[in-house]
């Protein structure tokens, strides 16, 4: 059996996304998602909550679509993989960071209203442009089933 690295999560953006372009002109978008987990403590019968913040990276046309429609507080569903990167800081220190490389981003929570009060058209956030590490013969992503 081969290894599997797949993450499906839903959460809310903690800030407006940050769209940048590589030197070759490829779009790259970064945003953080807050994921809430609630449970009842069996000892106290009190509801407790834990929040996890995860950085998301989106590439290509999908990054541009997300930049156009996503804003702080918007709920999204992300389907992707865990990626660990190493880098060297300006001081020469080696650092590691863990992020989610998104294969698809689905906009949840209804359509945002425009200034005139009408709902904006809402794309799914999917694009034909996937991350450069994705296999070229990978099948198109399916809708997240929730």
Separation between Cα atoms, residue 97 and residue 60, nearest integer Å: 22
- Indicate the CATH number of 7-107 among 3.40.47.10, 3.40.50.10880, 1.20.58.480, 2.40.50.140: 2.40.50.140
Separation between Cα atoms, residue 125 and residue 67, nearest integer Å: 9
Q: Where along the chain do its domains lie?
A: 7-107
Q: What proportion of the chain, given as a percentage, has pLDDT over 70?
A: 75
CB neighbours of residue 16 within 10 Å:
13
Strands (DSSP E) along the chain, which ranges? 7-13, 18-21, 27-40, 47-59, 75-88, 94-107
**DSSP for 51-74, written as a single string:** EEEEEEEEEHHHHHHHHHH--TT-
Whole-structure pTM value: 0.71
Task: Write out pLDDT tens, residues 82-138.
Answer: 999 998 999 999 999 999 999 999 999 866 554 444 445 445 455 444 444 443 333
């Amino acid at each position: 059996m081969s290894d599997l690295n797949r993450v499906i999560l839903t959460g809310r953006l903690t800030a407006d996304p940050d769209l940048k372009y590589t030197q070759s002109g490829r779009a790259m978008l970064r945003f953080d998602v807050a994921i809430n987990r609630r449970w009842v403590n069996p000892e106290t019968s009190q509801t407790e909550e834990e929040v996890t913040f995860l950085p998301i990276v989106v590439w290509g046309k999908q990054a541009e679509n997300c930049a156009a429609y996503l804003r702080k507080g918007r709920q999204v569903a992300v389907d992707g993989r865990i990626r660990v990167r190493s880098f060297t800081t300006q001081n020469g220190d080696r650092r590691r960071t863990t992020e989610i490389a998104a294969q698809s981003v689905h906009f949840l929570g209804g359509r945002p209203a425009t200034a005139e009060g009408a709902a904006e058209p809402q794309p799914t956030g999917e694009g034909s442009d996937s991350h450069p590490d994705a296999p070229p013969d990978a099948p198109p992503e399916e809708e997240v089933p929730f």
